[in-house]
């Protein structure tokens, strides 16, 4: 439609076009990708679109990255915003918080803490770096658990999901029995190219965007 309107303004009588035949599913997928390329998307709309491409159309973060020309780490960080509580997501939608201000709140476990931090960030007009410092101070004040073992299966699953989003590959965490927290992390890959991508990412060669360092507390 934008090209059509531009052609009218330019006074063109004919324009070159490429006609493609799509089924309903393909047409919906193409429309979703087109929507990601328009201006005016709020961060949550963008994150939901990425998540939709992964869930509905089985696209990996690497595939989306190549298709849209954005780094995989950028897409992973945007999708992680969906883990914020509804109130903070609303702040992002309405523009009361920036992505840089909201991202540190992911380190806070409860919705109540996230909401409290968001209000303090807005009231003090804190920068992204100041927001990170605020979250760290809130974590230091939080009561520490007496056990050094994972709280529950759900907590372990949450850690696995966070690593999966960061690496773009399935991750499995296995804990060993004992008093100390010990175990191993298994990262799955399905091709030599995917292995090379993971190695490059771990070597820091894939950090084309400013990514957040995850802190795991078990």
What's the CA angle centered on 60, arms 58 and 65, to 5 degrees? 130
Beta strands in the chain (DSSP E): 171-175, 183-187
Length in residues, the chain: 218
In whole angstroms, give the CA distance from residue 128 to residue 130.
Answer: 5
For 152, the token pair is 């529950």
- 107 pairs with which residues across the strands? none
Look at phi and psi of residue 182 and say left if phi exceeds 0, alpha if psi is from -120 to 50, else beta.
beta
The candidate with the shortest Cα–Cα distance to 194, out of 161, 174, 168, 218, is 168
What's the CA angle centered on 183, arms 108 and 176, to 5 degrees? 110
Active site residue 209: no
What's the CA angle centered on 101, arms 96 and 105, to 5 degrees? 110
In whole angstroms, give the CA distance from residue 201 to residue 6.
Answer: 41
**Which positions are catalytic?**
1
């Amino acid at each position: 439609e934008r090209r059509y309107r531009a052609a009218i303004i330019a006074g063109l009588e004919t324009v070159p076009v490429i006609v493609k035949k799509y089924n309903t599913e393909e047409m919906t997928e193409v429309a979703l990708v087109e929507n990601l390329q328009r201006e005016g998307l709020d961060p949550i709309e963008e994150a939901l679109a990425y998540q939709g491409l992964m869930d509905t159309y089985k696209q990996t973060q690497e595939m989306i990255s190549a298709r849209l020309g954005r780094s995989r780490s950028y897409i992973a960080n945007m999708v992680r915003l969906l883990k914020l509580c509804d109130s903070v997501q609303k702040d992002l939608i309405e523009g009361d918080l920036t992505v840089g201000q909201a991202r540190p709140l992911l380190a806070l476990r409860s919705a109540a803490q996230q909401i409290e931090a968001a209000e303090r960030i807005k009231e003090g007009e804190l920068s992204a770096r100041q927001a990170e410092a605020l979250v760290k101070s809130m974590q230091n004040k939080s009561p520490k658990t007496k056990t050094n073992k994972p709280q529950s299966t759900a907590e372990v699953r949450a850690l696995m999901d966070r690593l999966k989003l960061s690496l773009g590959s399935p991750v499995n965490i296995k804990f060993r029995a004992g008093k100390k927290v010990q175990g191993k992390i298994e990262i799955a890959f399905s091709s030599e190219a995917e292995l090379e991508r993971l190695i490059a990412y771990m070597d820091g060669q894939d950090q084309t965007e400013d990514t957040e360092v995850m802190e795991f507390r078990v």
